[in-house]
Amino acid sequence: MNVHRLASSVLVQAPAKLNLFFEILCKRGDGYHEIETLMVPISLWDTLVATSDPSGRVGVDCRWALPAAGDVPGDLPREQDNLATRAIHLLRCRAGVEHGISIELAKRIPSAAGLGGGSSDAAAALLAANELWGLGWSRDALMPLGAELGSDVPFFLGRGAAICRGRGERVEPLAGTGPLDFVVVRPPQGLSTSQVYENCRVSDEPRRLGPLVAALRAGDFRGVARESFNRLEEAAAALSGWVGRLRASFAEQDCVAAQLSGSGSGYFGICRHARHARHVARRLRSRGVGHVYAVHTTN
C-alpha cells in the first residue's frame, strides 16, 4: 500500500491480493469461519486520491479506470455501500473529528473475484484520511478499525506477504518468500463470497500451511506446486462452470501451480518468471476467458 502526500491531496495505490493457501479450520459460533491463509499483495492497483472538503461532507466518486469502450470486470458498489465510504465514517467517529473529504477512486481490481479490491480500498481510505487530516495514527492503531470493516482489511494495512488467521483479521507478516510472477484471470461471471462459504464443507483433516511456507522460502517450485491449496475451490466450481474451465486452461500453460483466489471467481497461475507470465497472459487472452493480467508480488 503506497501512500504519497501531494501538495493538497493524498494519493494511495491500493493493491489486489492473491491467496496462495486457504484452509477452513472450523465454523465459529459467531457465524464466521476460522481460517488460515497466506496472502500476497500484487501489482494490480486501484488508485485513490483524497482531498479535503471544507464543508465537512464525505464524498466518494468511484469509476472504472478502463477505456470507454472496454468491458468492465464486475459491478461498482453504490457510494453508501462502498467500503471506502464506511471506512471514512468509522475513522471520523473514532477520532472524534468532523473533517470533510472528497475521494476519487479509480478501480482496476475486478469485483466478485476474490482479489480483495473492496478491502484494499477501505484500507487505502483509512490511510489517506489519517494522513490528510494529520491524525498521526499508526498502521497498528488502524488495524482494529480495519477488522471492523472486513476480514481482509487488516492485511492491506500491512506491508507485504502475511499469514492471516481468525476470520482473517489476525495478521502475521511473512518475510523471506522472494518475488513471484503470476497470471490472474477474472472470468465473465463473478461469485458471491457468502454463497461459496455456504457450499464449502469443512475437512476433518485440515491441510497444513507450514510446508508451503518452507517451499516458498527455499524457492522450491515443486514444493510450491504440491502445497498450494484453496479449500473453497470445489465449492466455487459447483457454483460456476468458469472455475473448471479456467482450471483446465491453466493446466495447459506449464504454470508452477494454479488455483482459485479467495472465494473466486478470480483464478491465477504462478509463473516461472515475468517473461513466462507475459506469454501465458497472451495465450489466455486469445481464448476469451475474461480479463487477464500479468502481475508480480509487491510490498
pLDDT at 78: 81
DSSP string, 116-149: -HHHHHHHHHHHHHHHHTT----HHHHHHHHHHH
Q: Is 17 a catalytic residue?
A: yes
pLDDT at 187: 97
Q: Quick one: 185 exposed, middle or buried, by C-beta within 10 A (0-12, 13-18, 19+)?
A: buried
pLDDT at 69: 53
Domain boundaries along the sequence of the chain: 2-173, 181-296
What is the CATH code of the structural domain delimited by 181-296? 3.30.70.890
Domain 2-173 classification at class level: alpha beta
Hey, what amino acid is at 161? A
Q: Is 61 a catalytic residue?
A: no
Assess contact for 252 and 230: CB atoms under 8 A: no
Q: What pTM, to 2 d.p., does this model score? A: 0.96
pLDDT at 70: 67
- CA atoms 59, 169, 235, 278: torsion sign: positive
Catalytic residue, chosen from 46, 107, 121, 152, is 152
Calpha distance 46→120 (Å, rounded):
8
Catalytic residue, chosen from 17, 107, 121, 181, is 17
pLDDT at 144: 97
Which of the residues in the chain have pLDDT under 70?
67-70
Calpha distance 243→239 (Å, rounded):
9
Calpha distance 2→258 (Å, rounded):
28
Task: Give Cα 293 to chain centroid, integer Å.
Answer: 14
125-147 confidence digits (pLDDT tens): 999 999 999 999 999 999 999 99
- Look-up of cell digits 477501505: 122
Calpha distance 262→275 (Å, rounded):
26
Calpha distance 41→296 (Å, rounded):
8
194-250 confidence digits (pLDDT tens): 999 999 999 999 999 999 999 999 999 999 999 999 999 999 999 999 999 999 999
